[in-house]
Amino acid sequence: MRYFLIDRIDEMKKGSFAVGTKAVSLSEDCFEHHFPGQPVYPGALLIEGMAQLGGALLEISLRDEMGHCPRCVLSTVKAKFRDFTKPGDVLSMRAEILSQHDESAKVRIRGTRGDKRICEAEVLYVFLKIDDPKLEASRNEFLDILTRETRFLD
């Protein structure tokens, strides 16, 4: 993955929820054309950041249970945007597992700036088993970096 659109996972209860942070910086590439003089963080990137948080929650929750780190891939997304996100904003995102099955799971993710709701989505993921040790090691390294300062709850 080339773009990591969440900065860290602050808190997690495996199998239940995760809280992550995204600090939006004017130096991000997307602001060159979106939009000059009125920079707005693209909704598609908000969705991807939310999906990365939900996927990380699922993958971390399932890797002990399944004996490997499943790759969670987007299947469907239903999203709402309530306000613009601009450079300097710090978003807090909360992902909650709504349902889980053998090959898929549904997660609700909400993004807020302070007390204001900015965006929310329900995301359906399907699970893939990647039989490439290098890819699995790379994914585990990414998850370890995201969670190096995470407070895990029982």
Q: Which residues form the catalytic set?
A: 34
Q: How far, in Å, CA of 112 to CA of 85, rounded?
A: 10
Q: How far, in Å, CA of 144 to CA of 121, rounded?
A: 25
Could you give the 3-state DSSP secondary structure of residue 112?
A: strand
How far is residue 58 CA from its own chain's centroid? 10
